[in-house]
Amino acid sequence: MLINQFLLLGAFLFCTGVYGVLVRRNAVLVLMSIELILNSVNLNLLAFAMRNGSDVSGHVFALYVVAVAAAEVGVGLALVLLIYRNRRSIALDELSSMKG
Amino acid sequence: MFFLDHAWLIPVLPAVAFAIILLVGKRLPGKGAEIGITAILASLVLSLLAAAQWIQRVNDAGAGHEGALGFFTTLGRSIAPRAATAGGEHAAVVEPVIHSITWWQSGSTTFGIGTHIDGLAVALVVVVTIISSLVQIFSLEYMRGDRRYTHYFAGLSLFTAGMLNLVVAENTLQLLLGWEIMGLCSFMLIGHWWEEQANSDAALKAFFTTRTGDIGLLVGISIVFFGAGQTFSIYETNEMATNGQISHLVLLMASIALFIAVIGKSGQFPLHTWLPDAMAGPTPVSALIHAATMVVAGVYLVARLYPVFYDGFSIGNGGVNPMVLIGGITILIAAALAFVQVDIKKVLAYSTVSQLGYMVMGLGAGAWTAAVFHIFTHAFFKALLFLGAGSISHSGSHHSFNMKTSMGGLRKKMPITFWTFIIGTLALAGIFPFAGFWSKDEILVAAGANGYSTFMVIGLIGAFMTAAYMTRCVYLTFFGEYRGGDHHGDVHAPDPALVGALHASEGNEELTLEHDLAVAHDDHGHGVPAHGAAAHGGHDEHFEPHESPLLLTVPLMILAALAMFGGLLNAAPFGIEKFKDWVEPTIAYPEFAHADFSYSKAIVSVCLALAGGVIVFALYQRDLGRLRGLTRRSRLASAGYTFLWNKYYLDDLYEKGVVYFIKKPLAAAMYWINQHVIDGVVNGVGRGSVGVGRWTYRHIDQQVVDGAVNGAGLAAGSSGGFLRTLQTGRVSQYGALLFAAAGIGALILVIVV
């Protein structure tokens, strides 16, 4: 089985995620885009792991990423919630108080 | 054999005491003296126990006990014992106990430090600790109230530590260490009362004179080091020299260099001049220097490295060699000088020089055992005499050492001092059966038997002179009328000899002045030297001679006992040769020939000594008879007296001759070089530096360095301004930058890889 399909799909997902992160103003959507990026990476890891046959390190790595991603989303949503409470908005382009 | 294996404790204890005294001595109730005395007594006990074990070891070896034999190691190399000489007297070989640790390492050369304990070391360690203990106890009272009391005891401790280190030294380098420590300590102690110019001059003189010889030691040790295949070990050096593994020429060079060191340290002619001047120090220090440490070090060096000298100077052949020659000359010239001294300590000092001459002559004549035995016995009676002189000045003559002006008739007033002094004198003069008789006689007999008859005769003449000048000294001190009472300002006793000297030097202001200085020598240390007699009236009108307290007399009595019976350790006619059995090395040293005891020679030497004493005593008792005023009447006698009084003009030779001629042209040349070459170079360098500095300031500092500094600031500022615009605070822009950077990085990766 070729791994091209997996890699292409991963690249597509990655680009979608990047696009979402850069363009979207809604913080929740940005978080979701980040999930897409992470999962595209997972896809790549699993594809290469499959190609390497018995080596399970790719699987382990992917599981790690899933676990960390879950934690990250938890923290991220908490942040978004707090921002919303403070500002009644979750539009990221308005959060420029750390301007240099 | 614990005490032989741990002999390193013996020198370490006084060294530690030195440090403790310096650190906390002043705050202790005894001002540090108790530390020094405790340490030296502990060392004494250790050395006596070591001596006992050494005797045990010798006896074991003699009984065929194999336990004392075997291999031993030094610095990791094991040395096989020399095969016992077949059929010889010394079939039983007693090995020295050698221990060594690495001191430091340089390349492939290891410098060790350790202990080399054999009969010689044990004998010397015992002598040094006994004398040093007694000297320190004596000093308790003698130095009481001195302004540098604590430092004095610190100095004594370090002095003893230096000598003990030299005695137990495993290698020549360690020996050099002890040697130099003593040089330093003698300087400190001779100049103990340095407020007076004469004392600090004497200290400097002692230091420089011995340093002259020390150069020889350094050179000699280096020659021996390379000659013996790069080892400092005394044992290995001796073994190789004995077995002929070092070429004769190398040994000759080494012996000459080392002997120069001996001449300097042991006060041999012509470098003996510092020893009498060293009397400027406190009297117990003189006792220590003359009996146990310092001057004995030179003789000990010869005894220790005897195979080197034995082969180098071809002693076994019976020819005249530098050592026996210098020793013989020293005996006579020093004995002659002792006749004209008015200072009791200087008489003793010259007698030490003379006795050291005996030792060196004995060693030069192959009489190793006799010479070492003389070191042993001489230590006791010389320390006794010096401490006796100290006791006299302390209680009898009011801090003066002038026999002519402040002593006389002390026999009744100071009975203990008198009798102990007499014992010391008899021992020094070599009267049967006191200690000096046995050792001196042995030297003379051995010298005669080894083919040095001329030097045996010199030794006999020396014995005669020794007895004579010591009798003069005793008479002036203890007999006749007491002259110290009320001589206000009258320094010049009506002594014919002295008057003659002054008479002879009429119109010679310098001599008179010098004479005054010499007469004024005293041991006060309170900054009122001037004339010995004048100082009296100053602060004690009713001074009465009396016997010294027990702290002074007990050491005297102990030493007197040793001076009486010490010689019996090696009394050949009684069949006692313990000293020879215990001390004489049986390995790594040449075989020593032993002359049989000769009754005729012994009787001759004792008769000569007695004659010398009796003649002088009779002359003084009869008020010198027709000899009075001889120096005034006879031009020859006065010339001789002046010659002796000026110490053969050796000091003048050194000061006005050698020093002047070295100083003048050399100083002029040095001044010229200094002015023209060095100053030129210095000025040139200075000018060049200024030019370079100016150029550097203008071009490099102002433009390059300042430019760089300013540029760095500017660059930081402007780049900061640019980067500031990037900080929009918008997360998505940061993200865009991040991804752009990651994309560029990925692109580079793809292109490059």
> What would the two tokens of residue B29 be?
């109730």
Go through B411-447 and write b for each residue having 16 or more CB atoms within 10 A of its CB, e for each that does not: bebbebbbbbbbbbbbbbbbbbebbbbbbbbbbbbbb
Q: Which residue of A has its CA nearest to B731?
A: A92
B727 to chain A: closest CA residue: A100
3-class secondary structure, B69: coil
Chain B residues within 8 A of A21 when measuring between CB atoms: 732, 735, 739
Residue B71 confidence (pLDDT)? 44
What pLDDT is stored for residue A38 in this prediction? 93
Residue B238 pLDDT:
84
> Could you write out the three-class secondary structure of A1-54?
CCCHHHHHHHHHHHHHHHHHHHHCCEHHHHHHHHHHHHHHHHHHHHHHHHHCCC
Contact B240, B285 (CB under 8 A): no
Single-letter code of the amino acid located at A67:
A
Chain centroid to Cα B176, Å, comes to: 12
Interacting residues of B124 by C-beta distance below 8 A, sequence separation 6+: B167, B296, B300, B375, B376
Query: What is the model's pLDDT at position B628?
Result: 56
Structure tokens at A98: 């750390």
Contact yes or no for A100 and B727 at CB 8 A: yes
Both tokens assigned to B222? 């280096």
The answer to whether the Cβ–Cβ distance between B730 and A96 falls below 8 Å is yes
pLDDT at position A70:
93
- Taking an 8 Å cut-off on Cβ atoms, the answer to whether B732 and A95 are in contact is no
Helix (H) / strand (E) containing B336: helix B322-338
Question: Is the CB of residue B721 less than 8 Å away from at least one CB of chain A?
Answer: no
- pLDDT value at position A13? 94
Rg of the Cα trace of chain A? Answer: 17
β strands within B684-730, DSSP E: none
- Nearest C-alpha in B relative to A25: B732
Q: Å from A91 to nearest chain B CA?
A: 10
A91 touches chain B (CB under 8 A): no
Distance CA B345, CA B645 (A): 15
| B730 inside 8 A of chain A by CB | yes
Q: Report H helices in B339-434.
A: 344-364, 368-391, 403-406, 410-413, 415-429
Chain A interface includes B724 (CB < 8 A): yes
Q: B364: closest CA among B335, B331, B325, B330?
A: B325
What kind and span of H or E run contains B293?
A: none
Q: Closest approach of chain A CAs to the CA of B753, in angstroms? A: 19
The chain B residue lying nearest A94, using CA atoms, is: B730
Residue B750 near chain A (CB below 8 Å) = no
Distance CA B179, CA B165 (A): 9
- Across A79-91, average pLDDT: 88
Are the Cβ atoms of B732 and A99 closer than 8 angstroms? no
Nearest to B106 by CA among B232, B192, B190: B232
Q: B residues 69-98 near A, CB within 8 Å?
A: none
B739–A22 C-beta distance less than 8 A = yes
Owner of token pair 């990651």: B742
Q: State in Å, rounded, how far the first CA of chain B is from the last one.
A: 78
Closest-CA distance, A50 to chain B, in angstroms, reads 24
Contact A95 B739 (CB under 8 A): no
| Rounded alpha-carbon distances, angstroms, from residue B466 to A43, B338, B444 | 115, 9, 15
Residue B525: left if φ>0, alpha if ψ -120 to 50, beta else—which one? left
- How many CB atoms are located within 10 Å of the residue A66 CB? 12
B505 in helix, strand or coil?
Answer: coil
* Contact flag A97-B729 (C-beta cutoff 8 Å): yes
A22/B729 touch (CB, cutoff 8 Å), yes or no: no
As to burial, measured by CB atoms within 10 angstroms (0-12 exposed, 13-18 middle, 19+ buried), residue B206 is buried
Q: Contact A95/B728, CB-based, under 8 Å?
A: no
CB B349 within 8 A of CB B275: yes
**B97-106/B109-117 β-pairing:** antiparallel
Q: Which helix (H) or strand (E) holds B541?
A: none
A18 contacts B729? CB cut-off 8 A = no
Query: What's the predicted TM-score (pTM) here?
Result: 0.68
* Calpha distance B621→B618 (Å, rounded): 5
Phi, psi angle pair for B97, to nearest 5°: -95, 110
Nearest to B728 among A18, A21, A96 (CB): A96
Plot region of B61 (φ>0 → left; ψ -120 to 50 → alpha; else → beta):
alpha
Nearest to B111 by CA among B180, B166, B174: B174
Q: Judging by beta carbons within 10 Å of its beta carbon (0-12, 13-18, 19+), is residue B261 exposed, middle or buried?
A: buried
Is B739 touching A (CB cutoff 8 A)?
Answer: yes
What confidence score (pLDDT) does residue B260 get?
Answer: 87
- Cα dihedral across residues A23, A24, A25, A31: positive or negative: negative
Out of B723, B724, B730, name the one closest to residue A93 (CB): B730
**Mode of pairing for the β-strands spanning B109-117 and B72-74:** unpaired
- Are B496 and B631 a contacting pair, CB within 8 Å? yes
* CB contact (8 A) between residue A96 and residue B732: no
Give kind and range of the element (H or E) at residue B542: none
Low-confidence ranges of chain B (pLDDT < 50): 65-90, 486-541
Residue type, B655: E
Task: Return the pLDDT at A12.
Answer: 94
Q: At what angle do helices B344-364 and B453-478 cross, to 10 degrees?
A: 160
In a 13 Å sphere around the CA of B464, the CA atoms on its Cβ side amount to 14
Enumerate residues 6+ apart whose C-beta is below 8 A from B221: B172, B173, B175, B176, B232, B258
Pairing of strands B97-106, B77-79: unpaired
The three-state secondary structure class of B149 is helix
Facing A22 at nearest CB: one of B726, B727, B732: B732
Rg of chain B over Cα atoms, rounded to whole angstroms, equals: 33
Residue B162: closest CA among B14, B53, B42 = B14
For residue A1, is pLDDT > 80?
no
Mutate to test the interface with B, among A14, A16, A18 (most CBs of B within 10 A): A18
Collect all residues of chain B within an 8 Å Cβ-Cβ radius of residue A18: 739
> For residues B258 and B361, what is the distance between their CA atoms, to the nearest angstrom?
15
A31 near B CB under 8 A: no
CB B414 within 8 A of CB B546: yes
- Show the tokens assigned to B566: 């010490």
Contacts of A30 in chain B (CB under 8 A): 731-732
Query: Shortest CA distance to B438 belongs to which of B566, B567, B583, B291?
Result: B567
Whether residue B665 is preceded by a cis peptide bond, meaning omega within 30 degrees of 0, is: no
**Quick count: other Cβ atoms within 10 Å of Cβ B676?**
10
Q: Which ipTM score applies to this complex?
A: 0.78
The pLDDT, as a whole number, for residue B352 is: 87
Q: How far is CA B620 from the centre of its chain?
A: 36
3-class DSSP string for B466-482: HHHHHHHHHHHHHCCCC
Q: How confident is the model at residue A77 (pLDDT cuts 50, 70, 90)?
A: very high
Q: What's the CA angle centered on B629, arms B625 and B633, to 5 degrees?
A: 120
CA A48 to chain B, closest CA, distance in angstroms equals: 18
